């Protein structure tokens, strides 16, 4: 039997928990975390369902490395290229941060497609998860927009001319096309204005939207639950086969009572 706590111990515990309780009473943050962490998921959830959180991890890598890059990068046509050279070759671990940001983008996009493929194969977009599919598709679009705007920032020849053609592609859209192209360019030619715009979109607007939508996406997943693999024998929500009670005659011999594996061992 556990010893009863001394008065002093109880006092200390209350003191330590007081700030947490204060916070929870006013925000519900502890309740919310419990709701998120200790919710039940179907027992057959396994590796295939880790693609979503893997995608989130890739996004967090992009956020962290992006913040570090922003400390050294200069969004000005006269200085951008030199700052990229400095980040890659001179600054301590700069190559790693830029390399992780550059390749993390590819990994992020690949994982988005894999995650979407998994959801499609599992039919997990069906009732009541349709809204989350829509949110996911918009996240994919914003991720591609991040790829497009980020590609210009190193300000080298590939970046520049790929963006020229990319903006021209936008301009072919009916009605809105020329306006979008003019907005992206910010002038007659692709130059300083364009770079500043792409930098702002890439750093503020699109990531802000992504963070908001990913939060919504995760809220909906938590609220609606993760779907079991459709072929699983123990899938949550499966239909139970009614037990046969009718006696069978000679024409339809009764199945021999099989010994289940569990009983054998």
Partner 1 sequence: MSTKEQRDDFTRYKRDVKREGKPFFPYAVFHDTVMSLFVVAVIIGLAALWFFTSGEEAGDAGILGPRYQSEADPAAIQFVPRPDWYFFFLFYLLRIFKWPESVILGTIGIPTIALILLLVVPFIDRRRERRLLRRPVAMVASVLVIASLGILTYKGATAKEGAAGAEDAIPEWIVDGNLVENAEVVLSTDPDAAALGADPGDAETLIEDGAELLVQAGCLNCHVYRNVGAQNLGAPDLTEEGSRERGLEWQIGHLKDPPAFSGGSLMPSFATLGDDQLLRLAVFLESSRGN
Q: What is the residue-wise DSSP string for 83-147?
A: HHHHHHHTSTTHHHHHHHHHHHHHHHHHHHHHHHHHHHHTTTTSTT-HHHHHHHHHHHHHHHHHH
Q: Which of 190, 200, 195, 202 is nearest to 76 (CA)?
A: 195
The per-residue b/e assignment along 86-98, b for 16 or more CB within 10 angstroms, e otherwise, is: ebeeebeebeebb
Contact segment (CB under 8 A) with partner 1 among 68-76, 189-197, 211-219, 252-260 equals 189-197
Bond into 128 cis (ω within 30): yes
Which residue in the set 9, 10, 11, 50 belongs to the binding site for partner 1 (CB under 8 A)?
Answer: 50
Which residue, chain included where needed, has tokens 């591609």? 144
CA–CA dist 42, 234 (Å, integer) = 9
Residue with Cβ nearer partner 1 (51 or 203):
51
Is residue 129 close enough to count as binding partner 1 by CB under 8 A? yes
Closest separation between CB of residue 87 and partner 1, Å? 10
Region 210-229 residues binding partner 1, contact defined as CB under 8 A: 225-228
Region 59-118 residues binding partner 1, contact defined as CB under 8 A: 61, 77, 81, 84-85, 88-89, 95-96, 98-100, 102-107, 109-111, 117
Residue with Cβ nearer partner 1 (38 or 261):
38
Q: Which two tokens stand for residue 171?
A: 């301009």
Is residue 187 close enough to count as binding partner 1 by CB under 8 A? no
Closest separation between CB of residue 30 and partner 1, Å? 14
CB 132 within 8 A of CB 175: no
Residue with Cβ nearer partner 1 (67 or 162):
162
Is residue 233 close enough to count as binding partner 1 by CB under 8 A? no
Which residue in the set 21, 29, 120, 219 belongs to the binding site for partner 1 (CB under 8 A)?
Answer: 120
CA–CA dist 153, 160 (Å, integer) = 9
Which residue in the set 9, 12, 32, 126 belongs to the binding site for partner 1 (CB under 8 A)?
Answer: 126
């Amino acid at each position: 039997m556990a010893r009863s706590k001394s008065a002093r111990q109880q006092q200390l515990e209350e003191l330590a928990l007081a700030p947490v309780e204060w916070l929870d009473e006013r925000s519900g943050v502890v309740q919310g975390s419990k709701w998120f962490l200790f919710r039940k998921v179907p027992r057959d959830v396994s590796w295939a369902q880790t693609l979503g959180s893997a995608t989130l991890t890739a996004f967090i890598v992009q956020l962290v490395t992006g913040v570090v890059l922003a400390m050294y990068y200069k969004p000005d046509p006269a200085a951008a290229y030199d700052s990229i050279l400095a980040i890659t070759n001179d600054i301590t671990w700069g190559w790693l941060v830029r390399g992780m940001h550059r390749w993390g983008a590819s990994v992020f996009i690949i994982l988005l497609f894999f995650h979407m493929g998994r959801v499609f194969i599992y039919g997990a977009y069906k009732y009541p998860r349709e809204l989350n599919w829509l949110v996911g598709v918009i996240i994919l679009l914003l991720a591609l927009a991040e790829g497009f705007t980020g590609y210009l920032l190193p300000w080298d020849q590939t970046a520049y001319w790929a963006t020229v053609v990319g903006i021209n592609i936008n301009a072919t859209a009916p009605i809105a096309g020329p306006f979008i192209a003019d907005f992206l360019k910010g002038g007659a030619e692709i130059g300083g204005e364009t770079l500043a715009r792409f930098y702002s979109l890439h750093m503020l607007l699109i990531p802000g939207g992504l963070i908001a939508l990913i939060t919504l996406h995760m809220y909906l997943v938590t609220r609606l639950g993760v779907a079991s693999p459709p072929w699983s024998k123990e899938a949550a929500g499966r239909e139970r086969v009614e037990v046969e009670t009718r006696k069978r005659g000679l024409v339809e011999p009764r199945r021999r009572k099989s010994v289940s594996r569990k009983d054998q061992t």
